[in-house]
Amino acid sequence: MTTEAVRLTHWQDQVADKRARQKASIPKEWLIPSVPEDTTNVIDIPQTCGLLTQRELEITGASEVTELLGRLASAEYSAVEVTTAFYKRAIIAHQVVNCLTEIYVEKALQWAAELDAYLKEHGKVKGPLHGLPVSLKDQIPIKELETTMGYAAWVGKYAEDDAVLVKLLLKAGAIPYVRTNLPQTIMWGETYNNVFGRTLNPYNRRFTPGGSSGGESALIAMHGSILGIGSDIGGSIRVPAHFCGLYGFKPSSHRLPTYGVVNSLDGQESVPTAFGPLSTSLSGITTLVRSILEQEPWSYCPNTVPKPWQQDDYSLKAHGEGKKLCFGIMWDEGSVKPHPPIQRALEMTKKALEAAGHSFIEWQSLRHAEYVAVARSSFLADGSEDYNSCLTTGEPIINSMDPSADPSDVPAFRIPRSPLSAYKVWQLNKERKELRKALLDRWQATVSQTGTGRPIDALICPVAPYAAVPHGRTRSSIYTIIWNTADYPSLIIPVTKVNPAIDTKPTRESFWGEEDEVVYNMYDPEAYEGLPVGIQLVGPTLQEEVVLGVGEVVNAALKAAQKQDAQD
């Protein structure tokens, strides 16, 4: 046997072992009959499979995190029954969209039992997230559990300590009950790795749930979780939220604690990763951010800015109490025109906000390509040394997320580059600083156009040029990555679903470029039917509370418009 053959056997053995252990971690009584492969939409499987009781369907059917927390606090629901219900539903989801990595029912139920005992004994909740099950992307270690991050070489790597995020979730009374899938190297807008395989979009299993936090988005879309934590370095929270009809929030990179997480490209700080929530409700997003900040995470994580939750900012005190906001709107970034349903989601949002008394100014794309180039150069600066250091067992690098692709074909934006010198990275950092300054000046200068006496209160733009795409068809995340390079917080709000009757494919005579034509050709109204569409709401660095406060205004306007439409 050659060394190569030994190696290959070795990594495949590691994977086989991990998969067997994952399978064994699922309680037998929670297995459901297999769903035929050609059942593409599985979003209703939890309701129809018969495994969940009526009460469990009621519990997991909730979307509003604050409501669920209220029922837990009043002991209307016990933590054990809520955790059990969500765990069962997560396992159901997993069986149809393959969204989980670590499954540890006993440990989670023990935490839940302790919380129930606490509430009974003290007559009060342990913390603001008392009894809430929270799912975690497979980058957030929990003491004594494996963290493979999708690498075969990491199978059997057990965490010695909780990540700071886990510590603070536990202190707040949350139950970090399950971990979720992500792509190999994390640096993908889809979710597939050699250890756990591919995660599917529950609205259409032939489509991707997005990535890299695609295990989260698939799970939460199926209500197998009500709130989860992902990470975002180029769109990895926002694209999955958009593809799966969820709220998602990428804070500025140093607002929520990151100490103790594992990551690709660890130590790359030019365009850093941010950790943040995905949820079925905006209240879930806000509650998570607030409950972490209230615990002074900077006392645990050296990279977290010591800025407490700013209630005045969230109430939009300096933004006219949110009564007459002025938004910037960017319909496209000038190189790739979004598909019709994306444009429609922006139009719906604009109309809803105008009906509520708010106004808009147009925002033209600003040096967008340079933002993308700086981010990409920063990510590829190591010449793949980081990836290679995790592929020591012979496990092959995944070059494409397309199931039918030649595994040796590498898409343009993934082609490895020669390593950069430290000096070259310094020059990139200078470029990034200039880009951020140009953006800031542009933002501030809008004060002359808004009529409010303030610069725009937030910017609205597409999340991606498309709704979810078939596996392997995701292009570079150009609509999201700019806000990583800028380090601006960005909130995803679900708006609508693709409707072939109105989102017809326009004829186009000319294109803005090759990428524009490729993306145009991807659109097929019938194939995309029913897929969710969101919008992106952006504000300046470290102004998380403002973005969330404005998010409430946008969300309320959209809900009011929906109600109006239903009445008409």
Which residue from 187, 158, 76, 61 is spatially nearest to 125, judged by alpha carbons? 76
Is the CB of residue 562 less than 8 Å from the CB of residue 351?
no
Q: How far is the CB of 514 from its own copies (least distance, A)?
A: 29
User: Is 213 a known ligand-binding residue?
Assistant: no
Q: According to the binding rule CB under 8 A, does residue 454 interact with its own copies?
A: no
Which residue from 260, 209, 201, 228 is spatially nearest to 42, judged by alpha carbons? 201
Q: According to the binding rule CB under 8 A, does residue 309 interact with its own copies?
A: no
User: Is 231 a known ligand-binding residue?
Assistant: no
Active site residue 212: yes
Residue from 45, 125, 178, 439 touching its own copies (CB under 8 A): that is: 439
Active site residue 23: no
Q: How far is the CB of 433 from its own copies (least distance, A)?
A: 7
Q: Indicate the residue among 383 and 396 with the shorter CB distance to its own copies.
A: 383
Q: Indicate the residue among 436 and 505 with the shorter CB distance to its own copies.
A: 436
Kindly indicate which of the ranges 77-85, 436-444, 465-473, 492-500 contains the residues binding its own copies, using the contact rule CB under 8 A: 436-444
Active site residue 137: yes
User: Is 212 a known ligand-binding residue?
Assistant: yes
Catalytic residue among 88, 137, 337, 350: 137
Size of the site for its own copies (CB under 8 A): 43
Residues 364-393 that bind its own copies (CB under 8 A): 381-383, 385-386
Q: According to the binding rule CB under 8 A, does residue 298 interact with its own copies?
A: yes
Q: How do 247-250 and 192-193 pair as beta strands?
A: unpaired
Q: According to the binding rule CB under 8 A, does residue 268 interact with its own copies?
A: yes
- Per-residue DSSP letter, 158: B
Is the CB of residue 325 less than 8 Å from the CB of residue 553?
yes
- Which amino acid is located at 219 in the chain? L
Q: Indicate the residue among 138 and 544 with the shorter CB distance to its own copies.
A: 544
Catalytic residue among 212, 217, 270, 476: 212
Laid out side by side, the sheet with 133-137 consists of: 100-103, 175-180, 133-137, 227-232, 274-279, 247-250, 490-497, 532-538, 458-461, 326-329, 359-362
User: Is 186 a known ligand-binding residue?
Assistant: yes
Residue 232 phi, psi dihedral angles, 5° rounding: -150, 115
Q: According to the binding rule CB under 8 A, does residue 397 interact with its own copies?
A: no
Q: How far is the CB of 443 from its own copies (least distance, A)?
A: 9
Q: How far is the CB of 161 from its own copies (least distance, A)?
A: 11
Kindly indicate which of the ranges 438-446, 460-468, 489-497, 521-529 contains the residues binding its own copies, using the contact rule CB under 8 A: 438-446
Q: Which helix (H) or strand (E) element contains residue 564?
A: helix 544-567
DSSP string, 27-47: -GGG--PPPPTT----TTHHH
Cβ-proximal residues to 143 (8 Å cutoff; 6+ apart), any chain: 159, 160, 161, 162, 166
Residue from 288, 330, 336, 428 touching its own copies (CB under 8 A): that is: 428
- The tokens for 474 are 């995701």
* Helix segments in 244-399, DSSP class H: 282-293, 311-314, 340-355, 368-379, 385-389
Ramachandran area for residue 145 (φ above 0: left; ψ -120 to 50: alpha; else beta): beta
What are 326's strand-pairing partners? 359
Catalytic residue among 225, 236, 252, 490: 236
For its own copies, the binding residues (CB under 8 A) are 259, 265-270, 298-303, 305-307, 381-383, 385-386, 419-430, 433, 436-437, 439-440, 444, 540-543
Annotated binding residues for substrate, written as ranges, equal 186, 212, 233-236
Catalytic machinery residues: 137, 212, 236
